[in-house]
A = this chain, B = another copy of it.
Amino acid sequence: MKKKYLLAPGPTPVPSSALLAMATPIVHHRAPEFAPVLKEVQEGLKYLFQTKNDVIMLASSGTGGMEGSVANLLSKGDKALVVVGGKFGERWRDICNAYGVETINIDVTWGEAVDGSIVKKHLDENPDIKAVLLQASETCTGVMHPVKEIADYVKERENTVLIVDAITGLGVFNLPMDDWGLDVVVTGSQKALMLPPGLAFVALSDKAIKMMETSDLPKYYFNFKKELKAIAKNSTAYTPAVSLIVGLKDILSMLREEGLENVFARHEKLANATREAVKALGLTLLAPNAPSNALTAVNAPEGTDAGSIVKLYREKYGITVAGGQDHLKGKIFRLAHLGYSDTFDVVIAISALEMILAELGVDFEKGAGINKAMELLSK
C-alpha cells in the first residue's frame, strides 16, 4: 500500500467535497435547477477575477481559452507582441501564427522574467501592435512575469490590449483585473481552482469587448460574443460541462470563505517555505529572481539527472511531481504548491526530497531543508 500525492502544477488535487458534488446525478443544463448554479458560479468568478464584467466558461482545457482570446479579438495580419519565455509563451506565439497574426517575439531565457522596459520599447517602436500576450506565471519554469508594469504601458494605448494567460496565476497571487487594467485574463479549472481539467475561463475588459467588434478571424465553438449574450440570459452558448460547474460552485464558495487575500497569503507562505527549504539543502532555483508562488522549479544537483529525482518521488514515495520540459528535461524538477495545498504538502515534498537526495548520494546537510520548511510554515 502506497498513499498517492499529487504535487504537480496541474491537474492539482480536488477536495472531496467537490468530488462528491460532481458525483451527484447530472442536472440538465437548461433545467430550472441549474440556473441558480450558473448564477452563483458567475458571481464567484467575478470575485475571483476581481472584475465587474462577466466571465466566460468554456468546456475545454485552458488552451481553448487562449485560442479563443486570439480568435475573438484579433484579425488576420494584425501585429502582436508575445513574451516567449517557456512552453506556454511559445503557445501564444504558435496560436497567433496559426491564425495569420504576425508576432514580434520577445525571447526570454527560460527561468527569467521579461524585462518590462523591453515590452515598452517594442510598443513605442510599433504603435500598430494590437495585443501584448504573456503568462502571469509560466508553468514550465515557475517564473512570474511583471504583469502590472506591462499593464501600465498597455493601458495608455487606445488600440492595444493586454492578454494574460493566468492559468497558473489566478487564485495564486494577486491579479486584480479591473484595478490593473488587464484586458483578457484566461484560466483553467485544474490549477488553483482545484477541479479536474475540462473548463477554461475568460474575462474581458470593455476595451477587449470593443476590439472583438472588428475581429475577422474565424471562430465558432470559442465565440465570446455568443457566450456573453448567453451569460446575459444566465446560460451558455453550447452544452456546458455540467458536472465540473457543479464542482466549481463548491470550490468558489471555499475560496470566498477563505478570502482572496488569505488565499494569496497561503500560496506565498507555501511557496516561500519551499524555496527556502530547497536552498537550505544547497540546491538552486531555476527562477530565483522572479518566482511564481504556484510552483518552484529546482535545478537538479550537479551530476544528477532530474529525471531520477522525479522517478524516485513517484516510485518510492507515491508522489507525482513534474520534470522539466524540452531543453530543461533532466535539468529541473517542479514542485507545485497551488490549489488544494497546505502546510503538509510542503512537508511531504521537502521530506521526500531529503530522502531522495540521500539515496542519490548528493552531499547536503541532513534536516536542513525540512527544518527550514517547518520554521517558515509554523509562522
Which residues of A are at the interface with B, using a C-beta cutoff of 8 A?
4, 6, 8, 10-14, 19-20, 22-29, 31-32, 58-64, 67, 71, 94-95, 98-100, 188, 190, 196-198, 217-222, 238-244, 314, 320
Given A28-B320, A218-B98, A218-B217, A190-B60 contact (CB < 8 Å): no
A221 adjacent to B60 (CB under 8 Å): yes
Once the chains bind, are A94 and B220 in contact (CB under 8 Å)? yes
Which of B6, B8, B28, B63 is the one whose CB lies under 8 Å from A221? Answer: B63
Please judge, given known A-B contacts A60-B60, A238-B63, whether A95 and B220 are in contact too, CB under 8 Å: yes
Identity of the chain B residue whose Cβ is nearest the Cβ of A19 in the assembled complex: B23
Q: List 25 A-B contacts (CB under 8 A).
A: A11-B26, A11-B28, A12-B26, A19-B24, A19-B25, A22-B196, A22-B243, A28-B320, A31-B320, A32-B314, A59-B60, A61-B240, A61-B241, A62-B239, A63-B220, A63-B221, A64-B64, A67-B221, A94-B220, A98-B220, A99-B218, A190-B242, A198-B198, A218-B218, A221-B222
**Chain A contact residues: over half helix, strand or loop, or mixed?**
loop
With contact pairs A64-B221, A238-B61 given, residues A13 and B32 touching in the complex (Cβ less than 8 Å) = no
Q: Is the CB of A25 within 8 A of B14?
A: yes
Partner of A196, one of B14, B71, B241: B241
- B63 and A196 contact, CB distance less than 8 A: no
How far is A26 from B29 in the complex, measured between Cα atoms in Å? 24
Distance in Å: Cβ of A66 to nearest Cβ of chain B = 8
